[in-house]
Chain A
Amino acid sequence: MYLATTGRPDTPPAPGSGPGAARRVPGTVIALGAVSLVTDISSEMVTAVLPLYFVLGLGLSPLQFGFLDGLFNGVTALVRLAGGHAADRGGRHKRVAGAGYALSAFSRLGLLLAGGATGGIAAALAADRIGKGIRTAPRDAMITLSSPPETLGRAFGVHRAMDTTGALLGPLAAFGLLWATADAYDAVFVVSFCTGLLGVVLLALLVPGHFTLPAPTPTLATGPARARRSLLEPLRSPAFCRILAAAALLGAATIGDAFVYLLLQRRLDVGVVWFPLLPLGAAAVYLLLAVPAGRLADRVGRRIPFLCGHGALLAAYLLLLTPINGTALLTLVLLLVGAFYATTDGVLMALAGPLLAAARRASGLALLQTGQAVARLIAAAGFGAAWTWWGPRPALAAAAAAMLTALVLARAVLPRTELERQSP
């Protein structure tokens, strides 16, 4: 829980930053961060032990569930849109997000009760994914609605840092539990359920139910009076469309972390025991850089860090193509991947949030996240196919070329003027 303190940068105001930047991170953002932290512990606990549980606990082949996983990712994209839409209707962000958190928490009980029945397991995994899909956009909308636009980057940085802390602690907690209980997978599911439920309680008690706009209403989007129409309404804002296009373009050149780690493994012959810890290294970098990257985005505009972050990913691809080897390669790639997440994930929400009318914000963010996620799914599938047919190196070279092209296009497409810079 040390992050809750480092992640609350309200202690000394940064020198040279405007009066807005010196303000505290809103309590609601900290509360949502705490909810995400606890929820991520809960979900990453289960994710970390599922392969072991399938193969050794149940005698199932994980390959089957790998296929289902891909299917669920597609479903999640659609559910996310529905979640955003439902949240916007009558400003029910908290209730919709709460339903998502609760569904994911109860899916652990489903895993517990399913035993070896693969139908039950698939249903539980689907419920978890649906829950995750439902809650993401309303939660991010709540962050934008409770923070002043000029410090939104920092607010997202704090939230994502707390979120990542949970993702780091989850696997450690799960493996520790398996150790302590001599492989009682059910204990992992029960503890994950209790932790997930705590997240729901935190949300219910600490996050306000209604949001008043803290900032001047954006001018580019359509007025809130005409809010209740189609899912696609945010697309009427040209600036939002440009951001969506840029995010999708860059997403379509993102090959997915699993491949990056696989490539690292091939190059390095990492000590076998430590290989599963590679993602934790990148997550730790993300954790450390999320807040500074958010602050930077607030100061220089969010477009630049967002583009630079994808540049960092491009650099990681190129590094994997060079003859550099050993610890240097490992350290640099993990740093670059961590920096990529820190400068793009929350920053994208901070970039788009203020452009959306408050009453359409959850739908808009959902649309953006879905666009990016679908693009990344396609990219991962394409990269997988390229890997199969051409081998890893040509596939990676193609990915690097695609990323470079996407960066050039995105730089041209992304709106140059940012809304919060115009506001007094």
Chain B
Amino acid sequence: MKPPPPPSTRPSTPGSRRRIGALVLATVVLTGAAVGYTVSASGRGDGPAVAEESFELAGPRLYFRSTEEENGRIAHRPTAEQAPDAPRTTGGPSCDRFHAAGGTALCLQRRPGVPPRAYAVVLDRRLRETRRVALPGIPDRARVSASGRMLSWTMFAVGDSYAGSSFSTRTSILDLRTGYLIKNMEQIPLTVDGRRYHAPDVNYWGVTFARDDNRFYATVSSKGRTRLVQGDMRTWSARALRENVECPSLSPDNGRIAFKKKTGGGDRGRPWRLHVLDLRTMREHPLAETRGVDDQAAWLDDDTIAYALPREDGRGTDVWTVPADGTGRPRLHVAHASSPTPVR
């Protein structure tokens, strides 16, 4: 990054020579600082990795993205383990978002480049790649149904990353049994208050599947409102259930939904609070976590909810847990981790 020659058209004077000297010096110092920092930073993390031979999906374990040393590689530890800093078994693939169930894993990963590329990678029980889909955006949410048959992921489609303010989401659904991929579910017929809803600005995100691999829940946003929708794969239709529900996550017993509700509290950038909605009574209650959570929660079992929160030192996230019934208090579960995924 060499500066252009000085524009002075006058013959060089002692003053201008001094200025050129200062310019050269400043350039050298600043270039040195930039290069030095970059070199030291590039020694910190490894490049993207694939899973090691011995690494596979098997329960009962908690899988998660480990952000401790290896840059986002998947790790696991026994489900019974409670200590935040307990040893973890690493060796999985590097992912930006991860989820797994029923012998299928979904790994959303970005591969560096100019411009960077992103993929949704489907992995089998031994974490070998079986399918790969290119993503036109930044990966954000990933879910696999309990049977391992239905997969869904959400990305932020960056209209143009240079404008900064025009974001929309795009959610895909992949049926592994038929191999059919719905690239963007925004065309699904949607019913709101008993009537077909049409708007050009509908965005879906955060799909969660029921045990029957047919019913699913998701968030739809349109005209500044978010709603919980219940969808049906067979009839390919969706209807809105209630407002202000984002990133639903169905409990293992399929009776409740954990979600983030916009309350205006918490942090300015994360005005959400975790809630649980009972699908039978349609009553919701807040959880004991008062900090703003911006994550699609995961149910470790029918009583415990796990989610990622940014660390106070700003270096990545930790996984926390909180009781699903609104009692108790949040506990640090795994340090330096995200995408908590219980495998039973």
Contacts and interface: CB of A to CB of B under 8 A. Distances in A.
A257 B112 contact: no
Given A184-B41, A197-B30, A273-B136, A115 B165 contact: no
A387 B26 contact: no
Nearest to B38: A187
The 6 A-B pairs with the shortest beta carbon distances in the complex, nearest first, are A115-B314, A118-B269, A27-B7, A272-B136, A116-B310, A184-B41
A182 B22 CA distance: 34
Contacts of A259: 166
Contact of B3 (A27, A34, A58, A117): A34
Contacts of A122: 268-269
10 contacts: A26-B7, A38-B3, A47-B162, A119-B268, A181-B38, A181-B44, A198-B27, A201-B30, A388-B200, A392-B200
A191 B38 contact: yes
Contact of A175 (B8, B33, B116): B116
B90 to A, nearest CB: 16
B329 interface: no
Nearest to B310: A116
Interface in B6-46: 6-9, 19, 22-23, 26-27, 30-31, 33-34, 37-38, 41-42, 44-46
Interface stretch (B152-160, B207-215, B231-239, B298-306): B152-160
Q: Which of B4, B23, B112, B201 has the most CB of A within 10 A?
A: B4
Contacts of B147: none
Interface string B42-67: 10111110000000000000000000
B162 A388 contact: no
A114 B140 contact: no
B261 to A, nearest CB: 14
Interface of B: 1-4, 6-9, 19, 22-23, 26-27, 30-31, 33-34, 37-38, 41-42, 44-48, 71, 96, 110, 112-117, 134-140, 156, 158-167, 199-201, 223, 267-271, 294-295, 308, 310-311, 313-315, 317, 338
B259 to A, nearest CB: 14
Nearest to A187: B41
A206 B200 contact: no
A43 to B, nearest CB: 11
Contacts of A225: none
Interface in A14-35: 24, 26-28, 30-31, 34
A171 B162 contact: yes
Contacts of B162: 44, 47-48, 171, 276, 279
Interface stretch (A63-71, A339-347, A368-376): A63-71
Interface stretch (A49-57, A233-241, A320-328): A49-57
Contacts, number: 225
A205 B7 contact: no
B26 A182 contact: no
Given A56-B138, A187-B42, A258 B294 contact: no
B134 A41 contact: no
Contacts of B338: 59
Contacts of B9: 24, 27
B7 A28 contact: yes
A178 interface: yes
B8 A180 contact: no
Given A122-B268, A278-B160, A190 B116 contact: no
Contacts of B200: 387-388, 390-392
Contact of B4 (A30, A51, A121): A30
Contacts of B48: 182
Given A181-B42, A258-B159, A387 B167 contact: no
Interface residues of A, number: 82
Contacts of A175: 112-116
Contacts of B166: 66, 258-259, 262
B286 to A, nearest CB: 20
Given A44-B162, A118-B268, A184-B45, A198 B156 contact: no
A206 B7 contact: yes
Nearest to A198: B30
A199 to B, nearest CB: 10
Given A190-B37, A265-B159, A65 B42 contact: no
A190 B291 CA distance: 30
Contacts of A172: 114
Contact of A195 (B1, B19, B23): B1
Given A27-B9, A273-B115, A205 B22 contact: yes
A216 interface: no
A276 B158 contact: yes
B160 A279 contact: yes
A1 B338 CA distance: 42
A186 interface: yes
